[in-house]
Every structure is written in C-alpha cells, then in structure tokens.
Amino acid sequence: MLAHSSMLRASSPKFGVVAQLAGIKDLSVDVGVIGARFIMAAADAAVLRDDIELVDARAQLVAELGEAAAARTFAVAGNFEMMNRLLDALGVGPMGPTAKLAEELGIEVPTHFAN
C-alpha cells in the first residue's frame, strides 16, 4: 500500500493529476487516476503472488488500459517489490516522507521498524 502511495504521490504532479491518496486505503474514494483500481489490483496480485487473481487482474488491466500499460504496471510493481525486499533484508524501515505518508494514510508500520 505504501508503494502505491509513494508512486502515486511522486508521479501524479508530473502528469497534472491531483491524486487522492486516501483512495488507496479506502476504496470508496476515487484516486483520480484513470484505471487506478485496475492498476492497484494488478500490483497487489503480483506482489502477493496470487496466481489466480493475477490472471484476472491482468486481463482486466489489459482490457481497460491496454497491453503496454499492463506491462509497465507489472514492471513497476516488480521493481518496487524487489526494492522493498532488499530494504527489509537490511532492516531498513520507512523513512522521511514515506513514514509521514504511512501516518497520513493510517497505515501501521510493523513494530520491528519502530525506532
């Protein structure tokens, strides 16, 4: 969830979009990005390694945004997951803006990262 938020917060201003980050945690809030629900579902399925959901999420993403957008979505999700795993292995928790973002969204940071 923090990865979605970080990516959205960093990329949306570059495209002139005012993203509603609360929509990442609360599905009743429109994020404000075309296809956001499909993108988040695909990223979640990839990160959670849910093979059944992955097939459905990919099909919906391709139908909604096209093959190229699906490829980019999975590439970004995979890259973020790789970075998260490396940081977890090193014992590095959320820092600076990411920690503030977690607090803003009401996301509980795991206790092993508490200072």
Cα separation, 75 vs 81, whole angstroms: 10
Residue 100 lies in a domain: no
Residue 105 lies in a domain: no
What's the pLDDT at 28?
85
In terms of pLDDT, which residue wins out, 12 or 3?
12
Sign of the alpha-carbon torsion through 53, 54, 55, 59: positive
Give the pLDDT band (50/70/90) at residue 92: confident
**How confident is the model over 103-113, as pLDDT tens digits?**
777 777 766 66
Residue 33 lies in a domain: yes
**How confident is the model over 9-61, as pLDDT tens digits?**
666 777 777 777 777 777 788 888 888 888 888 888 888 888 899 999 999 99
Domain that holds residue 27: 2-95
Residue 103 lies in a domain: no
Residue 110 lies in a domain: no
Residue 112 lies in a domain: no
Q: How many domains are there within the chain?
A: 1
H-run or E-run covering 27? none
Give the pLDDT band (50/70/90) at residue 4: low
In this model, does residue 2 exceed pLDDT 80?
no
Sequence length of the chain is: 115
Give the pLDDT band (50/70/90) at residue 66: very high
Predicted TM-score (pTM) of the model is: 0.66
